Amino acid sequence: MENEYDVIVVGGGHNGLVCAAYLGKAGLKVVVLERRHIVGGAAVSEELWPGFKTNPFANICNFFQSRVMDDLQLRKFGLDFQIVDPQVFKPFPDGRCLFFWKDEEKTLKEIEKFSKKDAKAYLDLERDMMRLAQRSGISVLKPPPSLMEITSRLTDPEDQALFSKVISSSYTDFLGERFESDEIKATLSHLGLGSMVPGGPSTPGTMLCMFYAYLHRTGLAHGAGNSSAFFKGGAGAVPQALARAAESYGVTIRTNSEVARVVVKNGRTEGVELLEGGMVRGKAVVSNADPNRTFTKLVEPQHLDDAFLRQVRNYRYHIGFFSMVFALDGLPNFVASPGDQTPGPAHTGVIDIAPSLEYMESAWDDAKQGRLPEKPFINGTIYSAVFPEMAPPGKHVMTMWARTVPHKLKNSTWEQEKERFGQRCIDVLTEYAPNLRDIILHYKFYGPEDLEDTLYLTGGHIHHGDMTFDQMFSNRPFAGWSDYRTPIKNLYMCGAGTHPAGGVSGAPGHNAAHEILRDWKEGAIS
């Protein structure tokens, strides 16, 4: 087996595959080394039960970038998606509900059911956030600018004030200034809580999650707006298409090939050593692993100085993640949108169970004390309502996430509590869809430790680290190292621990590849 390459990509997650495909297309000799039997990382689709194709970890690919789709010709390699409509279904305990549609006018009519004033406030929010995203000069497809560069571009005092609020305010404070309906505030504030940032809606800095979404919307593969895109074949269709594209560009993909360490000599990488033994040599190495795993597991500490290692040790992974996958004998019948077993508006978008700011705050109060929330806030999808081929005829697959859970429990362990907490989550869902327990055929729960063990995600953090302001933009992953390079010459990073951070976007892989190609052309890699 050939063991000398121009570039070695460690990890076959979607960003690693994006990076490899761009490098291969540019004519470099590239190998991807993936420890599991399949590529994709968290963006995989697996048949957990015969005929039921599930998305255990990554469910929605809203942020996938048009440029990556087009540059790598991913449609040619089978990647297709459908914009679901409505985008969001938000049921409330009193039997009311709120739909967010692709059509703005329909969404405004939904909001008006709760507050006519808030319908106008929503239009103002859309306008202000898109304007700020565009004027800030922050591109998800380029290395991030510094804070000084961002603020120098925001010459309008209104933009400056808005940016200051966005990076420092809580959802509660920011939305409280603009909206009067508790239901509307709860609907808008769920974004990012419990998956991107540690905190409840009143935690300062949580508004950054909303800004992050608007930044991605400037280049989405499915156009502007609050679109929710489901990929045909499930989330795993993304890495499968990327793998086909990469191989067509000459990239070698090796599964069941775990990297034990990055080989470093005289301050530069020479390749990697495999766990099974043997070395793969490369002029450059790209890590798709998170910053902690890269610099505490793959790179030996003697190759890094104390100041850099201090940044690594202080990089935060506070958010746990709990995934629930179900095979269903029919569809949930929601009290707030009752119907028959034909997929309807309540089934085809993102289902969001978080009725109020107080509810979400309570879940965070439990989690930060190391307790499992009594009332977890949950969202997810029924993918088979959009793509029936994901399940046998008349059956369905549903993935739900409990969004704010501790990685480590204070007085127990996940092994002891996983089943109990999963059943608690089912109880919460059943309050909104009373027939749910009757239609569950199979289920599987994944706690944070499962994600850490299975996917090698530090702390079970699917976004490779908290997405707080001090760990975003030019601080991601570390101040001075936001350009995908590292203190070790010819060692790069391309995962969600780099700008622009988490989500199935392909942006970190795209950006890392272009920086590597720049160094290659300038002769910095040899």
Cα separation of 39 and 434, whole Å?
Answer: 37
Under the phi-then-psi rule, with left for phi > 0, alpha for psi from -120 to 50, and beta for the rest, what region is 91? Answer: beta
User: Is there a contact between 426 and 21 (Cβ–Cβ < 8 Å)?
Assistant: no
Burial grade of 50 (CB within 10 A; 0-12, 13-18, 19 or more): exposed
Q: Residue ranges per domain, the chain?
A: 4-42+235-316+466-521, 104-211
Task: State the pLDDT at residue 285.
Answer: 98
Tokens of 47: 């048949």
Residue 21: partners with Cβ closer than 8 Å, 6 or more residues away: 72, 242, 245, 246, 249, 251, 513
Residue with tokens 């160094």: 519
pLDDT of residue 223: 42
Fold of 4-42+235-316+466-521: FAD/NAD(P)-binding domain (3.50.50)
SS3 154: coil
CB 30 within 8 A of CB 254: no
Q: What is the pLDDT along the chain (526 residues), one digit of tens a residue?
A: 568 999 999 999 999 999 999 999 999 999 999 999 999 999 999 999 999 999 999 877 778 898 999 999 999 999 998 888 998 999 999 999 999 998 999 999 999 999 999 999 999 999 999 999 999 999 999 999 999 999 999 999 999 999 999 999 999 999 999 999 999 999 998 776 767 788 899 999 999 988 988 888 776 544 434 457 789 999 999 999 999 999 999 999 999 999 999 999 999 999 999 999 999 999 999 999 999 999 999 999 999 999 999 999 999 998 778 999 999 999 999 999 987 678 899 999 899 999 999 999 999 999 989 999 999 999 999 999 999 999 999 999 999 999 889 888 999 999 999 999 999 999 999 999 999 999 999 999 999 999 999 999 998 888 999 999 999 999 999 999 999 999 999 999 999 999 999 889 999 999 999 999 999 999 999 8
- Matching residue, tokens 């499992």: 372
Pairing label, strands 4-10, 279-287: parallel
Reduced to 3 states (helix: H, G, I; strand: E, B; else coil), residue 274 is strand
CB distance 39 to 18 below 8 Å: no
What whole-number distance in Å separates Cα of residue 372 and Cα of residue 375?
Answer: 9
Cα–Cα distance measured from residue 324 to residue 55, given in angstroms and rounded to the nearest whole number: 10
Q: Which residues contact 338 (CB under 8 A, 6 or more apart)?
A: none
State the DSSP H helix or E strand holding residue 414, giving kind and residue range, or none if neither: helix 414-432
Residue of 165, 172, 162 whose CA lies nearest to 203: 172
Distance CA(263)–CA(373), nearest Å, equals 43
> Residue 240: helix, strand or coil by DSSP?
helix
